[in-house]
């Protein structure tokens, strides 16, 4: 396995996952996609450790458990009050090994004083060992997840002996203004292929199917005021995550 600079490896698992297929949201019902998107795993990684001065790139995931679904009757709350009966389809007992690395966000040169590679990497590894700085979810908040360090590629996965599985066109993720430099929120699509349980993610800029959603501006951060520096976070972690 090739090691990438500033890389972390971890395992994330839970009883259920709901990586919502956007096509199913229109009618009020929700159905999970069979595999997590780049953006879903990126969100999990950001729950482990995130600063606006860095960007996480998900290199690869390994699907450890079989893709199984379970439907539940739920009562979502209506905007106008009350609730209705709906059916949500979840993934059952999902588990993934994840390999990710961070890069500095050069669209946020106002935060260049926080570009400390060594400290960010060490804090990220400590946060993985602690199970994350914030609550971790597999897609939606009702799907509580747990994070543990792992050696990527170790152990037996359900799909180890299955050569290839194709999943058609799926959501890859979202382009936010603070990561692209454009005042536009965009969605990215791609065609993932799983080989022997491994899904290699292309980088966001390699996605050729990109669609604009709406205009949006980047949130502003000020070191020492609206965000902590990496040095302050390091001192905070000395007393526990």
Q: Assign 3-class secondary structure to 13-72.
A: ECCEECCECHHHCCCCCEEECCCCCHHHHHHHHHHHCCCCCEEEEEEEEEECCCCCEEEE
Q: What is the pLDDT of residue 107?
A: 84
Residue 224 — left, alpha, or beta (φ > 0 → left; ψ -120 to 50 → alpha)? Answer: left
Measured CA to CA, the distance from residue 56 to residue 46 in angstroms comes to: 7
pLDDT of residue 187: 94
CATH code for the domain of 106: 3.30.70.2660
Residue 113 has pLDDT above 80, yes or no: yes
Q: How far, in Å, CA of 84 to CA of 70, rounded? A: 20
pLDDT of residue 195 exceeding 80: yes
- Domain span at residue 72 reads 7-232
Domain assignment present for 113: yes
Q: Is residue 239 part of a domain?
A: no
Residue 58 located in a structural domain = yes
Averaged pLDDT, 64-90:
86
Q: Determine the pLDDT at residue 225.
A: 56
Give the model's pLDDT for residue 62: 98
99 located within any domain: yes
For residue 160, what are the CA distances in angstroms to 94, 150, 199, 216?
16, 17, 12, 42
Strands 54-63 and 198-200 come out as antiparallel
Percent of the chain at pLDDT above 90?
68
Which helix or strand (DSSP H or E) is residue 87 part of? strand 86-92
**Residue 59 resides in a domain:** yes
What is residue 200's three-state secondary structure?
strand
Report which DSSP code applies to 171: E
How far is residue 140's CA from residue 127's CA, in Å, rounded to a whole number?
A: 21
Question: Quick one: what percent of the chain has pLDDT higher than 70?
Answer: 89
Residue in the structure block whose two tokens are 């526990």: 240
Sign of CA dihedral 113, 38, 148, 196: negative
pLDDT digits (tens, 9 = 90+) for 55-65: 999 999 999 99
- Whether residue 41 lies inside any domain: the answer is yes
**3-state DSSP call for residue 186?**
strand
Q: How many domains does the chain have?
A: 1
For residue 223, tell me if it sits in a domain. yes
pLDDT class for 87, splitting at 50, 70, 90?
confident
Q: Is residue 27 part of a domain?
A: yes
* pLDDT tens digits for range 198-222: 999 999 999 999 999 999 988 776 6
In the structure, what pLDDT confidence band is assigned to residue 236 with cuts at 50, 70 and 90?
A: low
Place of tokens 């949500």: 88
Mean pLDDT of the chain: 89
pLDDT at 240 > cutoff 70: no
Among 59-73, 111-125, 142-156, 193-207, the minimum mean pLDDT is found in: 111-125
């Amino acid at each position: 396995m090739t090691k990438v600079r500033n890389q972390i490896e971890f395992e994330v698992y839970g009883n259920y996952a709901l990586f919502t297929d956007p096509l199913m949201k229109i009618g009020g019902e929700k159905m999970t996609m069979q595999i997590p998107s780049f953006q879903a795993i990126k969100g999990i990684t950001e729950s482990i450790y995130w600063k606006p001065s860095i960007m996480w790139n998900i290199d690869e995931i390994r699907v450890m458990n079989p893709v199984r679904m379970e439907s539940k009757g739920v009562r979502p709350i209506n905007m106008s009050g009350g609730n209705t009966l709906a059916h949500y389809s979840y993934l059952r007992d999902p588990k993934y090994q994840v390999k990710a690395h961070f890069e500095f966000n050069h669209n946020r040169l106002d935060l260049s004083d926080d570009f400390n590679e060594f400290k960010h990497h060490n804090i990220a590894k400590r946060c993985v060992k602690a199970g994350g700085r914030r609550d971790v979810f597999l897609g939606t908040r009702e799907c509580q997840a747990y994070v543990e360090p792992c050696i990527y590629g170790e152990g037996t996965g359900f799909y180890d002996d299955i050569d290839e599985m194709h999943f058609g066109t799926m959501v890859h993720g979202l382009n936010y203004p603070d990561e692209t430099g454009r005042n536009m929120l965009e969605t990215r699509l791609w065609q993932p292929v799983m080989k022997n349980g491994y899904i290699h993610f292309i980088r966001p800029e390699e996605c050729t199917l990109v669609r604009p959603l709406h205009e949006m501006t980047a949130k502003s951060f000020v070191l020492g005021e609206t965000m902590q520096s990496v040095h302050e976070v390091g001192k905070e972690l000395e007393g526990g995550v």
